[in-house]
Amino acid sequence: MRFVNPTRIGHLIVPQPAFEEQHFERDVFRDMCRYIGAPFKADKRSSQPIYLSKQKLPSGVGKFINEDILVHHLELEGFLVVYPELLPLSQQIELFNKYAYVVGSGSGLHTSVFCATPPELYSLSISEVVNSNFALIDSVAKTTTVHLLPEAGTRWHHYPAHVATFINFMRAPENSPARAMGDDISGFTTAAEIIEPSQFASDIASLLRSRGAFA
């Protein structure tokens, strides 16, 4: 509501945020998300794990430079590869209800907060530390995320100067200077290059098999 004239208000409630990135969460945030996600249930859960790929994501915080190779080997291992940004929210929530094992990197895994019974989550860390937002989401959604780092030797590339261009990219995707950064890091501020993506895919598949996937 926009007031254009002096207005007397008898009672005013100023809400506070239910979730603030890197800082805090409130149970009401989970309640709201689960209310939104309640209609998008699945009859039963598949033991086939899914991988949330960033290959078609135009911008974000972090990515794997050679994710295409990782995706290829995950598919050979039996993973279903999904591109969340191509799906409406309802279908994203349905995926988390339909599949018992979800692997990915970044905030795509936070969709679990919309599920009454979240799947097992496996996060491939894009940086050397776990983002505190995962701890907050785990706390509010009552989930436990297994965080996995690529093998020793992974090359990390950080581009702090690209933060401004990332913001510009989000504001004006077609005109942003992030378009000119190069295909491997365009629109992102951090990138990791996995030295042995085929072995990493095999290790992930073995871990999930030991925990009941592919049954």
Torsion, Cα 74 75 79 85, to 10 degrees, reads 90
> Does a structural domain hold residue 113?
yes
Residue 145 lies in a domain: yes
Calpha distance 114→92 (Å, rounded): 10
Over residues 69-76, mean pLDDT: 96
pLDDT at 171: 52
Of 51-65, 94-108, 122-136, 193-207, give the range with the top mean pLDDT.
94-108
pLDDT, tens digit (0-9, with 9 covering 90-100), for 56-66: 888 788 888 88
Q: Would you say residue 177 lies in a domain?
A: no
Distances (CA, A) of 199 to 62, 133, 194: 21, 28, 10
- pLDDT > 90? residue 169: no
Comparing 50-64, 98-112, 171-185, the range with the smallest average pLDDT is: 171-185
Lowest-confidence pick of 68-82, 125-139, 172-186 = 172-186
DSSP state of 22: T
134 falls within a domain: yes
Kindly tell me the burial class for residue 63, based on how many C-beta atoms sit within 10 Å of its own C-beta (0-12, 13-18, 19 or more).
buried
Backbone angles phi, psi at 51, to 5 degrees: -120, 125
Domain that holds residue 60: 27-154+195-210
Q: What is the mean pLDDT of residues 163-175?
A: 48
Residue 171 lies in a domain: no
* CB burial string 114-129: b at 16+ within 10 A, e below: bbeebbbbbbbbbbee
pLDDT for residue 45 is more than 90: yes
Q: How many domains does the chain have?
A: 1
Which structure tokens are listed for 70? 């990782």
Domain annotation covers residue 183: no
Distance, CA of 132 to CA of 107 (rounded, Å): 11
Dist. CA 149–CA 134, nearest whole Å: 15
Q: What is the CATH number of the domain that holds 204?
A: 3.40.50
In a domain, 4, yes or no: no
Between residues 107 and 102, which one has the greater pLDDT?
A: 102
Residue 53 is predicted with a pLDDT of 95
Asked, for residue 60, whether it belongs to a domain, the answer is yes
pLDDT above 90 (res 41): no
